[in-house]
Amino acid sequence: MAHFQCLWPSHHAILLCVPSVLYFLGGFAGQLVSIQKLSIRKAWRLTRIVSSLSLLLSFACCSDALLHTPALVRRPRISSLLTIGSFHLSFRFDVVEALMLLLVTFLGWVIVSYSRAYMSGDPKEPRYIGNLMRTLAAVSLLVVTNNLVLFLLAWVLTSLSLHGLLTLYPHRQAAVIAAHKKFLASRLGDFTLLCGVMLLGSQTGSFEMDEVMHRISGSHPISASIHVAALLLAISAMIKCAQLPLHGWLIQVMEAPTPVSALLHAGVVNLGGFMLIRLAPVINTTQMAQGLLVVIGCLTAIISSLVMTTRISIKVHLAWSTCAQMGFMLMECGLGLYGLAFLHLLAHSLYKAHAFLGSGGTVNQAKLKRMMPPRPAIGVNALIGSALSGLFVAILGALLWQPHLRMNAVMIFCITVVGLATAGILAAISSTCSIEASLLLPISALGISVLYFGYDRLFQRLAPLATIGPAPQHAILIFPVACFALLYTLHAIIRANPLGQIATTLYPWFYAGLYLDELFTRATFRIWPAKQSSEITRRRDAAQPFEARGVRL
């Protein structure tokens, strides 16, 4: 690590650790309340101060990154806090880390502020405060560390602290079962990540991310152990991002408080994608890891999108949406589109936090929607025409940034996805009689296309992610294009004829989620069944005398 140590003094590493340390110390407020050394009102005030200071500090770091962008693009800042032999406790700071730290602290500030009113009067408040602050501490440490061992430990601590939040109400059997399923999936993900980290360390002689990627880039040919490590990292990311068929826990943890759902769906579940973005050169060493990410991510995105349309509960609907978005993000990583995957991560986190924290207003929105006149149905011809128009808009948006556009396989995929995404906006033209809407909708679709391709070019300039190894094969790229075309076709058919034979045949299967979670639950619970808490057992035993007399509780 000699060529990195002179980049940044060690006191800057301490600066990057301050948000994590503040969150960790704020977690003791809950314990002080439990032993009656601090009032709950002062504990919430303390956590609010901690979250505000962390947000201000991360904003300062992000501003510094933007001011020194040219230097950070050429050589990210690496600072070592502690050195023991060949082991370096180092931290990395560049544009990606700055934006991630700002995102984590901003979401932490919002969730802490929301939780203060949401959890008011709940007897579980002290435990909630402790686990919430420890989760934020682990995540903020994870996004700035440059050491793979510390990255692994922070990930495990994040999972364990989140488990305490998901089991906040142990008397709820559904919450206990869902948390147990997440615990099993997380331990499997931790094991694969541990194996991948150990392989990388043994093959490169270092656990520093930058040192590992530097030595892999100078190693030709790539050893078989590196290929296996890349595959294990990809598998760990898929498990942590709740990809099929290990997705059930993400859908069923809705028994937890709403702020916990926002923290999980807006932050923690995205960490698998962040790991792939940070270790992009390692993932790109083997096409098996890339292909696995593309196939599993694409299937998860398609199936989850179809299942989502069968759900009525707003939180369950959002949970399936998260599963689909994670699949799409991992598919982008498998295709080498790490800049767009990072955009997906940032946008999805902010959107999903707002969606969960604002889910209480869904009833009022539904009432207003019922008062509006129903829109006329959109025919198949209109949907096909909007798809072709969307592809044209996507090509136009790409041409504005690249006048000499080269239509390679990756660009065809991007144009297809953007075109089908904007087709939904263009399809609304046929159902509106307003001239203003007919003019604004195409402009909105074009604006989305321009912003999408423009961000990709901007991100590659601000934070270019080095790639090693061959580009994805054309067969890997054809698969997601075909899947998304099939998804749009099915959506068009069902939307045009919701009571037709195809819709009525597919509905029971997708309503059941293709029974994938049931198969996983049966297989895992035979090996490690969930234990009922003492409170559940006590309530069940108390109910037995009444049930014996035919009294229903």
Residue 332: pLDDT band with limits 50, 70, 90:
confident
Tell me the average pLDDT of the chain. Answer: 79
255 or 510: which leads in pLDDT: 510
β-sheet bridge partners, residue 78 = 92
Q: What is the pLDDT of residue 120?
A: 83
Coil, helix or strand at residue 374: coil
Q: How far apart are CA 498 and CA 507, in angstroms?
A: 10
CA distance to 21, 120, 132, 166, per residue, from 126 (Å): 19, 11, 10, 15
Residue 352: pLDDT band with limits 50, 70, 90:
confident
Nearest residue to 290 via CA among 346, 379, 227? 227
Q: How far apart are CA 26 and CA 400, in angstroms?
A: 49
Question: Average pLDDT for residues 417-439, to the nearest whole number?
Answer: 72
Lookup result for tokens 């924290």: 357
Q: What is the pLDDT of residue 368?
A: 66
- Kindly give the pairing relationship between strand 77-84 and strand 87-93: antiparallel
Lowest mean pLDDT among 304-313, 487-496, 499-508, 541-550: 541-550
End-to-end CA distance of the chain: 65
Residue 546: pLDDT band with limits 50, 70, 90:
very low
Model confidence at 31: pLDDT above 80: no
Amino acid residing at 177 = I
Question: Average pLDDT for residues 108-117, to the nearest whole number?
Answer: 90
Please tell me the number of Cα atoms within 13 Å of 195 on its side-chain side.
16
Residue 235: pLDDT band with limits 50, 70, 90:
very high
Nearest residue to 266 via CA among 346, 177, 168? 346
CA torsion sign, 63 to 64 to 68 to 73? negative
By the 8 A CB rule, do 357 and 262 touch?
yes
Residue 2: pLDDT band with limits 50, 70, 90:
very low
Q: What is the pLDDT of residue 130?
A: 87
Q: Check whether the bond before 508 is cis (ω within 30° of 0).
A: no
Q: What is the pLDDT of residue 436?
A: 66
Model confidence at 539: pLDDT above 60: no
Q: Check whether the bond before 245 is cis (ω within 30° of 0).
A: yes
Give Cα 14 to chain centroid, integer Å: 27
Question: Average pLDDT for residues 141-164, to the nearest whole number?
Answer: 90
Residue 367: pLDDT band with limits 50, 70, 90:
low
Q: What is the pLDDT of residue 192?
A: 93
Q: What is the pLDDT of residue 171?
A: 80
What percentage of the chain carries pLDDT values higher than 70?
Answer: 81
Nearest residue to 251 via CA among 296, 311, 336? 311
Q: What is the pLDDT of residue 543?
A: 46
Lowest mean pLDDT among 153-157, 511-515, 525-529: 525-529
359 or 541: which leads in pLDDT: 359
Coil, helix or strand at residue 208: strand
Q: How far apart are CA 82 and CA 116, in angstroms?
A: 37
Residue 288: pLDDT band with limits 50, 70, 90:
confident
- Provide the whole-model pTM: 0.84
Coil, helix or strand at residue 431: helix
Lookup result for tokens 């180092």: 90
Retrieve residue 305's tokens: 């999108």
Model confidence at 470: pLDDT above 70: no
Model confidence at 408: pLDDT above 80: no
CA distance to 2, 216, 537, per residue, from 5 (Å): 6, 19, 57
Q: How far apart are CA 220 and CA 216, in angstroms?
A: 8
